[in-house]
A = this chain, B = another copy of it.
Amino acid sequence: MTNPAPLHPVDPERDLTISRLIRAPRASVWRAWADPRRLEQWWLPAPATCRVEELELWPGGAFETRMSDDGREFGPHISGCILVAEPEERLVFTNALTGGWRPAQGFMTAVMTFEAVPEGTIYSARVLHGTRVDRDLHAEAGFAEGWGTVLGQLAEQLEGRTD
């Protein structure tokens, strides 16, 4: 299959971005994404807990996570579709589609890239929205805090320390 396109330039009106150095090898960062049991450990800000229902890491695969405040009852979190899964390189999903590329009512596409550097891995996430309104709503709903927190949890999980 033809390789995916390079990323379009960031659109500051419609995109949100976050980036963080993780002091762990790229293979470990990828594994923290690709293994549902590991992903559950960091994908939602504690004390909320996460259940990974579907994680089909191929184009058209289903990606579904559920969340719980009490660890017993789980409600909807993300219901989306994997668009690109290049191990250790790039992962793209959207909630504007569900598994098998079926259209849905989602509002974002997330592009995660993993860059090996001497200190570990730079984990960069770029989230695309259809409109500036959707971007602003996502920002006001706490994008920076939420994604920042879970990247901190990922770092903690992989670096074996709390910071």
Which residues of A line the B interface, CB within 8 A?
A: 1-5, 7-8, 14, 56-61, 83-86, 92, 94, 96-97, 99-109, 111, 128-130, 134
Contacts and interface: CB of A to CB of B under 8 A. Distances in A.
A80 to B, nearest CB: 11
Contact of A5 (B3, B7, B58, B103): B58
A134 B97 CA distance: 14
B85 A100 contact: no
A109 B105 contact: no
Which residue of A106, A107, A130 has the most chain B CB atoms within 10 A of its CB atom? A130
Contacts of A83: 59-60, 83, 101
A96 B99 contact: no
Contacts of A59: 1-5, 59, 83-84
29 contacts: A1-B1, A1-B84, A1-B85, A2-B57, A2-B58, A2-B85, A2-B86, A3-B58, A3-B59, A5-B59, A7-B100, A8-B99, A14-B102, A59-B59, A59-B83, A83-B101, A94-B97, A96-B96, A96-B97, A97-B97, A97-B109, A101-B109, A101-B128, A102-B109, A102-B128, A103-B106, A103-B109, A103-B130, A105-B130
